[in-house]
Chain A
């Protein structure tokens, strides 16, 4: 089946630093999604990307859908302590009909030292 390689697995940074994480796949996806999971919570959508080459920002977050449709990155600028959590990329199969599936990366655990 489809697999996503997400890196890095974990990051330890100082408050104020910028962060970058990425996902790659051997398969093409139609949509890339980035989620954040806080402890004890379910993943929450941060950014959704729908077109190859698309660059989208949401506050301090910026994400891009790779031209090849096989990769995506997420950047966080000027990190703050509340950025701590696990960040997941997810690739979406074409939606339509009776099924809807996401393939998730293994996550990037971000720790921000104040």
Chain B
């Protein structure tokens, strides 16, 4: 199965600041996905990061708030900009991996952000 490493694993941030989360995958992948998991909520797709093109954002998420980089096929970053307490969430990087005979979404351990 895929090894997906995220940094930081957790952080406490001040309102108004920005934080960049890194995601490193152990093999090349075409697409990398960024999800948000708000407290007590389900996972929501923020955007899909493709190497060599701009990220594709889901409804309700914009590039100015969540800029994404995808410099190569094994790495991506998500920045949470101008943070407010409402941005306190777990941010999860994911890729598609062959599991149980099919292509399924595999997640990193997540980055837990608390905004004060």
Range class of the A interface residue count: 20 to 34
**Complex: chain B residue closest to A6, CB-CB:** B42
- Which residues in A have their C-beta under 8 angstroms from that of B50? 98
In angstroms, Cα B48 to Cα A69, docked, is: 26
In angstroms, Cα B96 to Cα A40, docked, is: 21
**A99 and B48 within 8 A (CB):** yes
Interchain nearest-CB distance for B80 vs A (Å): 17
- Which residues in B have their C-beta under 8 angstroms from that of A104? 42-44
**B48 and A43 within 8 A (CB):** no
- Which residues in B have their C-beta under 8 angstroms from that of A52? none
**B104 and A33 within 8 A (CB):** yes
In angstroms, Cα B110 to Cα A41, docked, is: 6
**Complex: chain A residue closest to B111, CB-CB:** A42
Indicate whether A45 sits within 8 Å of B106 (C-beta atoms), given known contacts A1-B59, A99-B56, A100-B31: yes
- Spell out B's residues near A (CB within 8 Å): 4, 9, 31, 33, 40-45, 48, 50, 56, 59, 92, 94, 96, 99-100, 102-110, 112
